[in-house]
Every structure is written in structure tokens, then in C-alpha cells.
């Protein structure tokens, strides 16, 4: 049972949220799409499992390092 | 009638035995020790890797934990100088607690002579380190001075161990957190490649030796099939994507990625293109939007200088929105560290071809092997943008008053119209070709053919400089 914490790599806004807590995910699945530097940047999970926590909502502005979600495998 | 007696039980071989480790590194049966085995704590040998001659040394972790003294260091210096004389790669396999305390300053002096030998050989022969156990103190800087550092699961690299750290700073940390694979593969950038097993670490070192020592020549492009590499990018131009599948499609087969988890917004890969070793540098839009920042500029700069030192041609895949803005970046020295990339490209004499796949903006445009820095050729895919910034952002600044003067309802339409006009005159690839900073638009399906052609036609070169670990 490993928990992967997924953090924002840069200042950005949350454009789309594609999962909810409890969603099953495969490695490489997109959890949310951020908007920054005029680009849509998908945020992926590195491990397969279930979305345990989701800490962001669409439109929210994130700072570098903010926790976006955790994935439990 | 004879009965089979049970085989005599031999003592299990010590997995840390240096001769055994060297034998597992070289081609089977090719190992020839440079000097007889002794109690110095180091064994050095010559052998072959995929048929190419190479030299390797291994610290003897079965003697005093592999600690380095005068005699052992002399074996290492001899191995490096022999490799330099014979112009073959030298590989160091490390498992050592550092300098031998009992020898005092004599051991420190000897370790320093190892460092000096590594710097003598820097940029002239490939030097590769494989860290299989602790490499502490002096043994930490040995690998750090070489071109590539590969770490197995038990590898630990630190200057001062957990006990000293605890007594001085009060930080409670174990060896792995202080200097294990995750720390150096992801946080510090000390290690280029982390592997799951010791055999995989040795196999990776063999691969690196093969790529750098047996570079090969470009095969002709006549049989090169057309493959639409454009399909590997998303249709929406604003959407970020992982550049690694594109790199995989450009190369003959998957390459050896260096620093995959450190500064992942730039990807650096050694691989083969039409049979010849090349280095690929690519922005990765999936990470930090593909922005350059201080760490990625430094990572790319070191890679460019290593390839240049060993005559490895470069392929530069560009899709970059600019430098990452922020206080953190400026305080982190993005100006000083970004300057390294400008220096590395401008200095490089190997053939180096740039392909702009989607966009190349601002200062990052210059840094990514632009024509101004001496690119051999600059290609662009159709529709690529080369500009100071995106057209929409540019007209927002250039025509701020004009935009503010029209009613809100009409503003978006005017903005789009002005952006299209601006792109035509300042940002489109046609303009870039007109002023000579892009040579040609290349159809995605022709990418490999054109990259191979441009690199093969260029005059080969090899930079006359060392490879300081930037």
C-alpha cells in the first residue's frame, strides 16, 4: 500500500478536474488539467490505484508545491 | 558401478568481490587484471564491452569496507592513465567508505591524486561510475567528477554520513535518505541513471560505454520510411504532452535517458540515429509546461558539453514557452545557470541540428541551439511559431490602448485579428525563414530523413575541452 502525493510543479490555475475521490486510475492517467504559461498541462499519476484525496476545484489558483491529490495503490 | 557423491560445498562467493564484479561488467572471459590482486582495496583490469576495449577498476569492499589508501589509489590512477594513453573508456565501480583513516593525510593526498587523474582525462576519454554500495567522503567525489554516474539500489553517496550529520546539525536521517537513489536521482542530480538491481547498473554502464566508444556512422537515408511523427503531438496546440514518445520515434530504438527524474522539463537521451550515436535534448511540455529553468538549463548544458567532448552529434527538439518566471528562479540563479546552456551550445563544434516542433519563444528560443548560437541546421514543422512570445500575449502588450478603446463585446474579435496579423509579420515560421533563423519547413513524416541527412552532411567535430560537472 503506497500513497503517491501529487503536487503542483508551478503556479497555475485548475482548468479541469477529471477524477473524484474513489476513482480507479491506471499509471499515466490524467487527474486534472492545469493552465499555466498559456498552456493546458495534464497532471498524471505515476502509479495505478484509487484516488484517495482530491484537494483542488476547477478555477482554483495553485502555488508551487500545493497538494493536488493522493493516489493509493 | 560408481555412486555420485554430493558436490563439495564451496563457500558462497561474496557478491562484493571486486574480481567478480569486474567479471560481470566485462564481456565474458575478457577480464585481464592490470596488476595482481593485493590488499590495497582496489582491483583494476582491462577487458572488452561488446567487443570494444575498456579499462575498469573496482574498490574492494571485502577489505576494510573498500576504504581507499595510498596503494589502492595508485591502482586507480594507473587505470585512468592507462585508459587515457590507450584512448579507451574507464569505468569505476564504487563501494567504499572513503579514505583509510589509519593512513591519515597520506590517504587524503592519494585520493586527491585520483581526482587529479580524473580531471586530466576529463573530456578526452569517457569516464563512467557505477555506485553499488556506500561511496562516502573522498569516494563520493570520485564518481561526481566523471561523465556519467549510475547507481544501483544499495548505492549511497554523501560527503558526511548520518552520524556526523546528527552530531553537527541534529538532523536525524538514514543513509538512504541522505544519499540514496531517490535523493540523487530526483533531488540533487548527482546520479544520471538509477537502476533497480546491481546487474542492471552494470548493464547500463556497458550500454553507456558502447554508445560512447563505438559510435558508428550514419547509414544512408535511402531506405528511411516515412512516419508521421506529427501524430505524436496533441491536436490542440495549447495542450501539453510527453515528448518521450517523439524522442523514441526519432531514434532507432529506445535510448538511454540521463537524469530522467531530475529537472524533467528537459529530457536528455543518448541513443542511436541511423546506427550512429547521437545526443537528444528536448523540452518536455508535460513538466513545467516545457519551460526552461535553472536546473534544466544546467542539466542540458552539461549534456551538451559531454556530447561535444566526445564528438557525439546533437538533435535538439524544441517546444518551449520560455523561461519559468518567478522569484524562486531568479534567486536560484537562473541567470547564472541559464548562461551555462548558452555557453555550451555556442562553444560546441559537433554537428547539431534543431527542430522546432510547435513553438520557440523568447530567451529560451535563443538557448535551445538557435541559429545565432551556431546550429548546423534549424528545421521547423509546419505551423511552428518562432517569436519573442505568443502572438496573443504580444498584441496584448503592443496594442493595449487600441484594445482598451473598443467595447468589451468587440475586444476578443479584435484581439484575435491583431494576433493573426502579428503572427504573420513577426511570429510565423515564414518570417523566421525570411530572416534566416530557420532554414526550412520539414514535413513531420520526413523528420528522421532530414535530421540524419543534415547531421551526416555536416563536418564532424569534437570539442577540445574537459567536461566539468556543471
pLDDT tens digits for B89-119?
999 999 998 889 899 999 999 999 999 999 9
**Collapsing DSSP states into helix, strand and coil, what is residue B34?**
coil
A42 and B392 in contact by Cβ < 8 A? Answer: no
Q: Residues near A3 by Cβ (< 8 Å), separated by ≥ 6?
A: A52, A70, A71, A72, A73
Say yes or no for a CB contact (<8 Å) between A9 and B291.
no
ipTM: 0.86
Mutate one of A29, A39, A62 to test the B interface: name it (highest B CB count within 10 A): A39
Please give the grid coordinates belonging to residue B76. Answer: 586507480
Q: Kindly name the residue from B67, B117, B344, B364 that is annotated as catalytic.
A: B364
Residue B38 pLDDT level (bands cut at 50, 70, 90): very high
Above 90 in pLDDT, residue B424?
A: no
The rounded Cα B244 to chain-centroid distance in angstroms is 14
> Cell numbers 569517457 correspond to what residue?
B126
B98, B137, B179, B428: the active-site residue: B137
Condensed to tens digits (0 to 9), the pLDDT of residues B258-290 reads 999 999 999 999 999 999 999 999 999 999 999
Chain A residues with CB under 8 Å of B392 CB are 38
Catalytic residue at B364? yes
DSSP state of B15: T
Residue given cell 495503490 in the structure block? A73
Degrees to nearest 5, angle at CA B117 with B112 and B120: 130
Q: Pick from B373, B382, B388: which is nearest to B281 by CA?
A: B373
Residue among B72, B92, B138, B453 flagged as catalytic: B138
Up-side HSE of residue B312: CA atoms within 13 Å toward CB? 33
Cell of B227: 512516419
pLDDT at B9 exceeding the cut of 80: no
Q: How far is CA A64 from CA A6, B303, B418, in A?
A: 11, 27, 33
Confidence (pLDDT) at B7? 62
Q: Does the structure show a pLDDT above 60 at B224? A: yes
Residue B454 is a catalytic residue: no
Give CA–CA dist B413/B416, Å, rounded: 5
Distance between A23 CA and the closest CA of chain B, angstroms: 22
A41 and B240 within 8 Å at the Cβ level: the answer is yes
Tens of pLDDT, residues B355-407: 999 999 989 999 999 999 999 999 999 989 898 877 888 888 888 888 888 88
SS3 call for B299:
helix
Q: Where are the alpha helices (DSSP H) in B36-121?
A: 70-86, 105-121
Note whether A39 contacts B285, CB cutoff 8 Å: yes
pLDDT of B157 strictly over 70: yes
B322 in reach of chain A (CB within 8 A): yes
Question: Of how many residues is chain A composed?
Answer: 73
In chain B, % of residues over pLDDT 70:
97
The residues pairing with B316 across neighbouring beta strands, listed in sequence order, are B281, B354
Question: For chain A, which residues score pLDDT lower than 50?
Answer: none
Which positions ≥6 away from B206 have C-beta within 8 Å? B25, B49, B50
Q: Which residue has the cell 552520524?
A: B163
Distance in Å, alpha carbon of B171 to nearest chain A alpha carbon: 23
B363 is catalytic: yes
Interface of chain A toward chain B, CB-CB under 8 angstroms: 9-11, 36-42, 44, 64
Helices B408-422 + B391-398 axis angle, to 10:
120
SS3 B425: helix
CB B261 within 8 A of CB B195: no
The predicted pLDDT at position B248 comes to: 97
0.80 surpassed by pTM = yes
Residue B99: CB partners within 8 Å, gap ≥ 6?
B67, B68, B69, B107, B108, B110, B111, B137, B138
Amino acid at each position: 500500500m503506497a500513497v503517491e502525493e501529487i503536487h503542483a510543479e508551478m503556479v497555475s490555475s485548475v482548468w479541469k478536474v477529471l477524477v473524484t475521490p474513489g476513482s480507479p486510475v491506471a499509471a499515466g492517467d490524467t487527474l486534472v488539467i492545469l493552465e499555466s504559461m498559456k498552456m493546458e498541462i495534464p497532471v498524471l499519476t505515476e502509479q495505478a490505484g484509487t484516488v484517495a484525496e482530491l484537494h483542488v476545484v476547477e478555477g482554483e489558483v495553485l502555488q508551487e508545491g500545493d497538494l493536488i491529490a493522493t493516489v493509493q495503490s | 558401478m560408481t555412486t555420485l557423491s554430493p558436490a563439495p560445498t564451496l563457500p558462497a562467493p561474496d557478491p562484493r568481490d571486486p574480481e567478480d564484479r569486474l567479471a560481470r561488467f566485462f564481456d565474458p572471459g575478457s577480464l585481464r587484471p592490470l596488476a595482481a590482486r593485493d590488499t590495497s582495496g582496489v582491483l583494476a583490469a582491462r577487458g572488452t564491452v561488446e567487443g570494444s576495449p575498456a579499462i575498469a577498476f573496482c574498490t574492494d569492499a571485502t577489505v576494510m569496507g573498500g576504504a581507499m589508501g595510498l596503494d589502492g589509489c595508485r591502482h586507480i590512477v594507473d587505470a585512468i592513465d592507462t585508459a587515457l594513453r590507450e584512448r579507451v573508456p574507464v569505468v569505476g565501480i564504487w563501494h567504499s567508505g572513503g579514505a583509510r583513516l589509519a593512513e591519515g593525510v597520506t590517504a587524503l593526498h592519494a585520493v586527491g591524486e585520483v581526482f587529479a587523474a580524473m580531471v586530466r582525462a576529463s573530456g578526452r576519454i569517457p569516464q563512467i561510475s557505477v555506485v553499488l554500495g556506500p561511496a562516502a567522503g573522498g569516494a563520493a567525489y570520485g564518481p561526481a567528477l566523471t561523465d556519467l554516474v549510475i547507481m544501483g539500489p544499495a548505492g549511497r553517496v554523501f560527503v558526511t554520513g548520518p552520524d556526523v550529520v546528527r552530531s553537527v546539525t541534529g538532523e536525524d536521517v538514514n543513509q538512504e535518505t541522505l544519499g540514496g537513489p531517490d535523493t540523487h536521482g530526483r533531488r540533487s542530480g548527482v546520479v544520471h541513471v538509477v537502476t533497480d538491481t546491481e546487474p542492471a547498473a552494470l548493464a547500463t554502464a556497458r550500454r553507456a560505454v558502447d554508445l560512447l566508444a563505438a559510435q558508428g556512422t550514419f547509414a544512408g537515408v535511402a531506405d528511411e520510411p516515412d512516419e508521421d511523427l506529427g501524430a505524436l503531438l496533441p491536436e490542440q496546440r495549447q495542450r501539453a504532452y510527453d515528448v518521450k514518445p517523439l524522442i523514441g520515434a526519432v531514434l532507432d530504438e529506445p535510448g538511454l535517458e540521463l537524469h530522467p527524474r531530475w529537472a524533467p522539463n528537459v529530457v536528455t537521451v543518448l541513443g542511436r540515429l541511423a546506427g550512429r550515436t547521437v545526443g537528444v535534448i528536448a523540452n518536455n511540455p508535460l513538466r513545467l509546461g516545457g519551460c526552461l529553468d535553472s536546473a534544466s538549463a544546467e542539466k542540458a548544458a552539461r549534456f551538451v558539453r559531454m556530447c561535444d567532448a566526445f564528438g557525439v552529434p546533437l538533435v535538439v527538439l524544441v517546444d518551449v514557452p520560455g523561461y519559468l518566471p518567478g522569484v524562486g528562479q531568479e534567486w536560484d540563479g537562473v541567470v547564472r545557470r541559464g548562461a551555462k546552456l548558452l555557453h555550451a551550445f555556442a562553444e560546441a563544434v559537433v554537428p547539431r541540428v534543431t527542430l522546432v516542433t510547435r513553438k520557440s519563444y523568447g530567451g529560451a528560443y535563443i538557448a535551445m541551439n538557435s541559429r545565432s548560437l551556431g546550429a548546423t541546421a534549424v528545421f521547423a514543422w509546419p505551423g511552428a511559431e518562432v517569436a519573442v512570445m505568443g502572438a496573443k500575449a504580444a498584441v496584448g502588450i503592443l496594442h493595449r490602448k487600441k484594445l482598451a478603446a473598443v467595447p468589451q463585446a468587440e475586444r476578443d474579435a479584435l484581439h484575435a485579428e491583431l494576433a493573426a496579423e502579428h503572427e504573420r509579420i513577426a511570429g510565423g515560421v515564414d518570417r523566421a525563414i525570411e530572416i534566416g533563423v530557420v532554414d526550412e519547413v520539414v514535413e513531420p513524416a520526413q523528420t528522421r530523413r532530414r535530421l540524419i541527412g543534415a547531421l551526416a552532411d555536416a563536418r564532424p567535430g569534437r570539442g577540445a575541452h574537459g567536461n566539468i560537472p556543471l
